[in-house]
Amino acid sequence: MATITLKRTGQKVGFILYGLWKVTKSSTADTVYKAIQAGYRLLDGAGDYGNEKEAGEGVRRAIADGLVKREDIFITSKLWNTYHKREHVKQYAKFQLELWGIDYFDLFLIHFPISLKYVDKSERYPPEWYYDPVNQKVELQNTPYRETWEAMEELVDAGLVKNIGVRLVLVSNVASVLLRDVHTYARYEPQVLQIEHHPYLTQEPLVHYAKDVLGMAITAYTSLGPQSFVELNADKGAASLLTHGKISQIAQAHGRTTAQVLLRWATQRGIAVIPKTNNATRLVQNFAVNDFDLSEEEIKSISALNSGLRFNDPQEINPKLAIFA
């Protein structure tokens, strides 16, 4: 199986992660178990997803049944925006580990480059975006990114996480500046960059800088384009990539689904993907994408769909969060 080697630790990770965003909480344990049965060994979770306890139950059941050992599973989680202050980073990393029922995360990411006013877990967890959800009030907090990163490094020192990384939703030129800035003071350089990436948003300069210049591994969310945002009324009227004529034509030529073509378009270019599904058939299909190759012309034709269209845009929640402005 093709793998990506993480620069600092030398850990080898595959190109297909199972994503836990929007996985129904009541079925998360069963879905994670089935994903492991299907061959998935990388799980992408986050405190904000609200299903880490259930995901951990699925992992423990798979271990108890002899499907895997803990060291066979690469578990990613993320630090939410309300916990960016130094004194909160370790506290909430430990809390999330308790939810999962594990001793360490293989990868821990800063979820967004946005610091929000602290909300204690006794008041609400996950706290989500609003400090005051009744009045939909967002409150920013003046915590420098460096403070958060140095606290993340302390998690590595404590053995709570093996790798740390960033999840940037900035425009490419600003993201590159932030990445470069982190590298000037980091004791442990970020190993992974997670970005929105699909044919409508290829972010090629950022991908090149992070992957080829800095040697970071890249994982892509929203790999299927607007699909995950339809039910949130946030698809911006974009045509579905799953029924797009060009993608459908390529899929037919290879005897594959359009989702498989979209995922292979990324993995063939060295970018890991995080498909999410509650459907057992698609769960298996999404994992089987590295046993065929697209032609260079097919890759270029898919990349030509790029229009800079971004679906995950926090400023639509509140103008204070306009990190793309």
Catalytic positions, written as ranges: 49
Q: How far apart are CA 40 and CA 289, in angstroms?
A: 12
Give Cβ neighbours of residue 69 (< 8 Å, ≥ 6 apart): 63
Q: Are 139 and 131 in contact (CB under 8 A)?
A: yes
Strand partners, 195: 220
What residue type is 28 in one-letter code?
Answer: T
Residue 310 vs residues 177, 193, 281: alpha-carbon distances, Å? 20, 17, 28
Long-range contacts (CB closer than 8 Å, 24 or more residues apart) made by 227-236:
228/21, 228/22, 228/276, 228/311, 229/311, 234/311, 234/316, 235/311, 236/309, 236/311
- State the Cα angle at 306 between 243 and 304, rounded to 5°: 85
